[in-house]
Structure 1
Amino acid sequence: MNAMPKVLVVDDGDRDPDSALSMELAGMGYASVTTPFEAADDVLALIPSPAAVVLQMPRRAGWAERRRFLELANRLRKNLAESGTPVILTGGVSGAVTMLQNQLSMHAVAAQDI
């Protein structure tokens, strides 16, 4: 069994090697599970407590696509608030990695204070 903490990455299903977060996450010590938008809830049900959820919105998304991702982000933030799981909405890899590092560092510090 893989003991690495898992990060759920939700995208539009159109995966470009240049926009994959898996390598960066592995370098940070996280395993990643990537799923298309439509399967996000089903996959989240299989991962009992992800370290974070990253919603990777397409860079050239139109308003309807952006709205879908924003609504999912809001719903997940509400549903995962009690566990303190960060939900990060991003449009690119470099921004996602930076935000993820910041969010997970803050989460780790808060957990140590408990």
Structure 2
Amino acid sequence: MNGMPKVLVVDNGERAPDGALSAELAGMGYASVTTPFEAADDVLALIPSPAAVVLQMPRQAGWAERRRFMELASRLRKNLAESGTPVIITGGVNGAATMLQNQLSMHAVAAPDL
């Protein structure tokens, strides 16, 4: 990929054309890699330092699927805490880009000077 900061988007593998975050993320200056839930760890291993991880939980997710996403979020937050990489859970595309922009802005302001 190019030199744009990368965001990992994790979903359940069912993608509707109007549910993709990639266009919104590109407009914000981010490249995105979208992967199904089951491949999240493998793909994350290939992206050395993502700007963020977005877990895009389906709006109509049942209890079991919501629990899977929440457990993954908890584990990723623990694993990525040292790097300060935000892990964001969304319930669909609406508002996800705004949430991400807010999180990344806060992260940039709080980052130590190098």
With normalisation by structure 2, the TM-score equals: 0.96
| Matching of residue 80 in structure 1 with residue 72 in structure 2 | no
Q: Mind listing any 5+ residue stretches in structure 1 that lack a counterpart?
A: none
In the alignment, the residues of structure 2 paired with residue 74 and residue 49 of structure 1 have an alpha-carbon distance, to the nearest angstrom, of 18
Aligned equivalent of 1:3: 3
Of Structure 1 and Structure 2, which has the larger fraction of its residues in helix?
A: 1
Identity, in percent, stands at 88
Aligned equivalent of 1:108: 108
1:111 Cα deviation after fit: 2.0
| Matching of residue 92 in structure 1 with residue 82 in structure 2 | no
1:78 Cα deviation after fit: 0.3
In the alignment, the residues of structure 1 paired with residue 112 and residue 21 of structure 2 have an alpha-carbon distance, to the nearest angstrom, of 27
1:102 Cα deviation after fit: 0.5
1:112 Cα deviation after fit: 5.3
Amino acid at match of 1:55: L
Q: Secondary structure at the match of 2:58?
A: coil
In the alignment, the residues of structure 1 paired with residue 83 and residue 49 of structure 2 have an alpha-carbon distance, to the nearest angstrom, of 8
Alignment map for 1:7-86 (pairs within 5 Å): 7-86=7-86
Flag as ranges the 4+ runs of structure 1 deviating above 6 A: none
Range 101-110 or range 27-36, more displaced? 101-110
In the alignment, the residues of structure 2 paired with residue 112 and residue 74 of structure 1 have an alpha-carbon distance, to the nearest angstrom, of 24
1:113 Cα deviation after fit: 4.5
Q: Mind listing any 5+ residue stretches in structure 2 that lack a counterpart?
A: none
Q: Secondary structure at the match of 2:7?
A: strand
Change (3 A) 1:112 1:94: farther
In the alignment, the residues of structure 2 paired with residue 80 and residue 15 of structure 1 have an alpha-carbon distance, to the nearest angstrom, of 26
